[in-house]
Structure 1
């Protein structure tokens, strides 16, 4: 089977990073049961409070 990855950077409005992170983490929980999804990562940077 071929592997595929996707990297996306979101830039939020001031103060909206945490709500977006929560939505993405909920999506990650839903992906646990998807066959073939090996990894779903949500990452934040301390140095950029508006990016996910």
Structure 2
């Protein structure tokens, strides 16, 4: 299993979540992820309201 696949399955426990559906390697730290789970992914960076 490669690192990105491992993070997909286990990252939320450490606050690491995939951010964009089209970037399987793009993970970001979300401190609230361990108790609540990862937030929904954006389709891609163009749909990320944090970047507008």
TM-score, normalised with respect to structure 2? 0.20
Q: Which has the larger radius of gyration?
A: 1
**Greater relative contact order, per chain length (Cα 8 Å cut-off, separation 6+):** 1
Larger helix percent: 2
TM (normalized to structure 1)? Answer: 0.20
Write 1 or 2 for the structure with the bigger share of strand. 2
